[in-house]
Every structure is written in C-alpha cells, then in structure tokens.
Amino acid sequence: MSKIHPTVTGIILAGGRARRMDERDKGLIELEGMPLIKYTINALSPQVEQLMINANRNQESYGEFGFPVISDQITGFLGPLAGMAAAIQSCDSDYILSIPCDTPWVPKDLATRMLAAIEKEQADLCVAHDGERLHPVFALINRNRINSLTKYLNSGERAVHRWCKQQRLAIADFSDQPKAFINVNTPEELIAAAEIVKSA
C-alpha cells in the first residue's frame, strides 16, 4: 500500500502586538490596496490542506477572510510560539506550517520544500534559511512537539529560535529566494514594500 502523504495545516500568525508598527494590527494594514494578510493567504492556501489565522484582536475582521480564527490559549501576547501551540491544539493534521502575516512574498513551494527537508532528515521540525540566516517563524512542526512546546512556554521562555534548536531540526534552503522572507515591521518598511510591489 502506498504511503499517505503527510497532511499540513497552515497557520498565519497575526497575534502579535506590533509595537514597532505603533501597535496597529499588521495583518489588516493595507499594502497597495490589499491587507497584508491577504498576500499570505493567497500564497499559503494552495499549499496546505486547511488554513487557520492566529489573531488575538480584531477576530471578526480576520474571520471575514473565510478561514477559522484561533487565539492564543496562553494570554499576554507571548509571541509566535503561543500561536503555533494554539494551531497544533486546534487541528488534527500531521504538521502545522506557520508563517507571519507581514511577509508578502511567501515562497509558492514553501510546503513542498520543507516537507522534503523534514522527511530527508527524519526531523520533528523544519525552518527556512535564506542563505544568510534562519527564519524560525517559517516553521513546519510535527504535532508530536506540542508537549515540548507548551512546557517551554510555561517555563517563561519565548524565543522561537532557542526552542527550535532543542528539537530534531531540519533546515530548508531557500537561498535562491532570499527576498521571500522580507517582512513589514515598521511604517518605513511598509513604504519600502509598497515600492517593491509597484516595481513588480
């Protein structure tokens, strides 16, 4: 009998406080007439079996995009790991694939390449690398990591990269697409992103 391909739930992380964006809800900020999160929805939804949005405010607005909206189960804006944990606890797929809501140029082959890397290395977790540095919020995580993840959060830790390095880690090479991981954290970066969209 042929092997059933692993199932993947995509989770778009829009649950942050966005301090560097004057605490505006980044996913709902428009970039050239379209909310930032819509760029990530368009890129990720064709790659996964189901898609969820992690948001801790404006849940009704996010719900208008037509996907389930889940909030952190641990309150206090604890960062991306809390959103990842909420996603694992809310789905029944083999893996979750997380991306931030403020990255308009998500690779269209993100899931395929990360699955290949995690299977090749027999790992529990895969993160993206752009040729210069890791992007641990772009993470493919086996659901069996939930106990490790919740224990880490309950200990008071928040750093994504530190938790990732505690797991059996695979790295997916995206050095051919380094600009795919550009994100929008500040008003200045939003202006720069708009120029990229216009030029494209």
Per-residue confidence of the chain (200 residues) as pLDDT tens digits?
A: 334 579 999 999 997 766 667 678 899 999 999 999 999 999 999 999 999 999 999 999 999 999 999 998 877 667 899 999 999 999 999 999 999 999 999 999 999 999 999 999 999 999 999 999 999 999 999 999 999 999 999 998 889 999 999 999 999 999 999 889 988 888 888 888 888 888 76
End-to-end alpha-carbon separation of the chain, Å? 46
Break the chain into its structural domains and give their ranges: 8-199
Q: Does 8-199 carry CATH code 3.90.79.10? A: no
Q: Rounded to two decimals, what is the model's pTM? A: 0.92
